[in-house]
Structure 1
Amino acid sequence: MSHATFLNRQALFLRPDPTRVVVRPFKPATEPRDLNPTDKTRANHIVDRLLSLDHETTESLLADVLENFEGRHRNLLATFENRASDMEEAFTPHVEFTKVQRQLVGAYFLHEYSFEASALFNPSIVVHPDQSGVLQGSRRFILSLRAVGEGHVSSLTFRTGLIAADGSVEIEPTARLASTPTVHTRISDPLDEPVELSFSAQQHISERVIFPITPAQSNGIEDARFVTFEDNGQTMFYATYTAYSGTGIRSELLETSDFISFRMIPLGGSAARNKGMALFPRKIVGRYAMIGRQDNENLYLIYSDDLYSWEGGELILQPKFPWEFVQMGNCGSPIELDEGWLLLTHGVGAVRKYAIGAALLDKQDPSKVLARSSEPLVRPEPSEREGYVPNVVYTCGAMRHNDQIVLPYAVCDTFSNFSTIKIADLLRTLDG
């Protein structure tokens, strides 16, 4: 069966929007190495200049800043004051600041960042925890996306949408504003402890942006693979992702029950040193299970009694067909079907062309591969070959809805789209 026969591509394009901005701390350029501890820093100089202004000028300048930026962000004055609190080391000793002066100082040590100016890609999808008001046969979902802005820094952003009974997909309008969370953990360097963060429940989920927080994440939170995890009647949402510091990577885990409060936890063990880990949606024979790629080429099945530590692994899939000769990887968490575990994969072929395939794993023993794609399910169409990285289609996770698989996928590391696939048709293509 031709992939064009069973793949229903939706004309639903999620493209990067450079008008969506958050405020981030601004830090003056690094001081000279030979700076005497008694010398003033650039930050001190900025504060001194602000303190030299008279009261009327200070108030006028702050009012001008608010007029320019208040409609672009929530609670700007509180944001300015919080930033001023972070800048205590730049304050001239024994100087009393007025409230207006503190707010203006905070404004001078912030900048706007257009977090999805360059790309909005590598999506994953889970059922929304709130299904109130949804018609029978439909499902509300949460979509996570990797957003990339200036300097190729990756952050995590969200959308919500609805899958109708017939498989058609709608995305809800995106909030006009965007904001980063409150971090409840003191950040040290290096940091190997969990980080707790939260948003306001009043914020629309598309307003919530998880920007790199720790030194290990400083250049990006990449490719979150979300899964709904069920254990003893309890539901949690987990996402494995890659933390990138600019020089090194490590696998980390994001966990939440409501998409308001989150914990970020580094993963330990030899199996967590590579990219692309994906958690099964439930325990297998009483143990946690992951699909991972430990050697940049093949896929492994990994078990653990500890959700945060992963060792070893068993090779289960390696390149077999020309479209995956360069390397394989997973495309999100396995999806449980009556027939077995459906594992979406990606393969890299000639001229580093990426395509999406699938494999069916035994439900009781996922190390047994029952069938796999000899041809890709999704490959770049002629209209989908151009972008930031040409010739790439990629996903970080699909979900089952009735008799279909709903597959969000990225195009050329630039924008995202959706397809739906009938499960019966998909399984008939697995023969390799």
Structure 2
Amino acid sequence: MADAVTAGTGEAIAGFLDPALPLWNPEEDDVLVVRQVRPETHDVKTFVLAPKTPRRFAYQPGQFLTLELEVGGEKLNRCYTIASAPTRPGTIAITVKRVPGGPVSNFLHDTLVAGSEIRAVGPMGDFTCLAHPAPKYLFLSGGSGITPLMSMARSFHDLAEARDIVFVHAARTPADIVFRDELGLMARNQPSFRFAPICEGDAPFERWSGFRGRLTPALLKEIAPDFMQREVFVCGPSPFMAAARTILKDAGFDMARHHEESFNFAELAAAEPEVAAEVIAAEAAIEAGPAVATVPVYKVEFAKSKRVVEVPADVFVLEAARRAGMRLPSSCTKGMCGTCKSKLVSGTVEMKHAGGIRQREIDAGLVLICCAKPTSDLVIEK
């Protein structure tokens, strides 16, 4: 019996390591199986995923998946950055922090176990070090924003790349430092890799003796005196990223070498001011009356909330709805992540997406409202 089990295990491993394996294609089969759940901290877990039949994953370090979940009878789409490295193509991993009151993160933490199945789309995204090769990097992460930078660091480590990397991670306490042991191992293995965690305070059973407080110009200069010469990647909560931007701008840093990523479902993307200006101009045209308006204006009804919003033909549905005070889930606002995917009950739209929706979903009447402009009155199932 033992020999049979060993043989079966060996065959399974050989199957997943077969270099001739085709790539995982969510267009053909979007189901991923949870292979393992790993606790990282008291409120962070890593979910290791694999296709039902052996396939290889191909992606760029820093990219993300969009999970399609049914939580409490409602279909939700959420983006999670891939924390694993493409140098290990047999599985893919996401690392998720439990958010108090967050429907998806709590569902993942409380429900997923080895053998669970979830649906996913991707990988996608353009936040990657491969797009910005440089001899020296500065990674700045806060909280669960560590995941895309961890994918990049793991990739360099696996390939034994002697790249000069300073990895700064901000956490509340030492008990909240995600991947602490692994990052320490990387630093021991690679003399050119430096890991510098910053903690605001002590943990219940550990007094912190490292860098303390929050990221400041003085602290950044102490950790990375040559930061002005580095390619900078930033990911974390909005206040953390705003602080990093301010520090770099005030220092005269070339912001063309600054790159950031965030999946904030509560805020309108600040990186799209021209879109907001477009909405404001369209609203002004509506208020001025038909003699001034230059484009048609359509009524968009959200069936579940019973809200009706007027949307000019040259404005995206999501932006107009947000300006009207509606809180709708979204993330990238570029037609890439799929978070705002919605059922179009009636009407027609013009949509130019960036990969966040599949053709079979479009054929089934789904749209991405962040990149859809009305061409008639609409009814949307939200």
Q: TM-score range by the shorter chain?
A: under 0.3
Please state which structure has a larger fraction of its residues in helix.
Answer: 2
TM-score (norm 1): 0.25
| TM-score of the aligned structures, taking structure 2 as reference length | 0.28
Q: Which has the higher contact order (CA 8 A, sep 6+)?
A: 1
